[in-house]
Homo-oligomer: A and B are copies of this chain.
Amino acid sequence: MKIGVLGTGAVGKRLSSRFAEVGHEVSVGTRDVAVTSERDSWFAEHPELALRTHAEAAAFADVVLNATAGDVSITTLHLAGADNLAGKVLIDVSNPLDFSNGYPPMLFVKDTSSLGEQIQREFPEARVVKTLNTVNNTVMAEPKQLGGGDHTMFLCGNDAEAKTVVTGLLAEFGWEDIMDLGGIEMARGMEMYLALWVRLYPAVSHGNFNVKVVR
């Protein structure tokens, strides 16, 4: 499958290399290819991950993944271009974190809406699936390295076929317990859980944790 990962931070790097590892063709989107290449030699060391503009990466892809910070996600997706997202599965792993008052962050949208819904509304022809936002990038990419993989990933979205595609990709990463919570408005629950995650992080004293829904 052709995957376009938007974002060159820790999440974008880890997921793009993991997608390549499990056999996909990957293009990574950034705002300015020359600037990113100069700032960060990592991409020169990973030529299998084609570094392109956001628009080029999205145009290339069958499945687009938003790995940008929540506060720039919609801006970035506009750079990718609504036309390049139309009809495509758009995996949203972002969180609406607001660090302006320090740690723990607050959420800039919650309860009455969610970032997942904002993205779906802004790009109505994209088939948005929210997932992976409840763990750090290490756990996202290799869930079996934590507790043998015996923990839970959530997803939600309005398009059943898109959720099937994403479920398949998650399974390739090693996810086994995948719970479909329903339509994209379920992103409110998945994002508000972050308020607990950011408080578990200091209690656990590292970020490689997740919850298992025991039921």
Count chain A residues whose beta carbon lies closer than 8 angstroms to a beta carbon of B: 40
Tell me which of B182, B189, B199, B212 contacts A181 (CB under 8 A). Answer: B199
The number of times this chain is found in the oligomer is 2
Residues in B whose Cβ lies below 8 Å from that of A213 = 200, 204, 209-211
Residues in B whose Cβ lies below 8 Å from that of A196 = 154, 189-190, 192-193
In whole angstroms, what is the CA distance A181 to B198 when docked? Answer: 11
- Majority secondary structure of chain A interface residues (helix, strand, loop or mixed): mixed
Instruction: Name the residue of chain B whose CB is nearest to the CB of A195.
Output: B192
Contact at B179–A200, with CB atoms within 8 Å? yes
Contact at A111–B211, with CB atoms within 8 Å? no
Contact at A200–B181, with CB atoms within 8 Å? yes
Contact at B182–A202, with CB atoms within 8 Å? yes
Q: Which A residues have a C-beta under 8 Å from some C-beta of B?
A: 104, 106-107, 110-112, 146-147, 150-152, 154, 179-182, 186, 188-190, 192-193, 195-200, 202-204, 206, 208-215
Q: A110-B111, A189-B199, A193-B193 are in contact. List 14 more A-B contacts (CB 8 A).
A: A110-B110, A110-B192, A111-B195, A151-B214, A182-B202, A186-B199, A188-B195, A190-B199, A204-B213, A209-B215, A211-B211, A211-B214, A212-B212, A212-B214
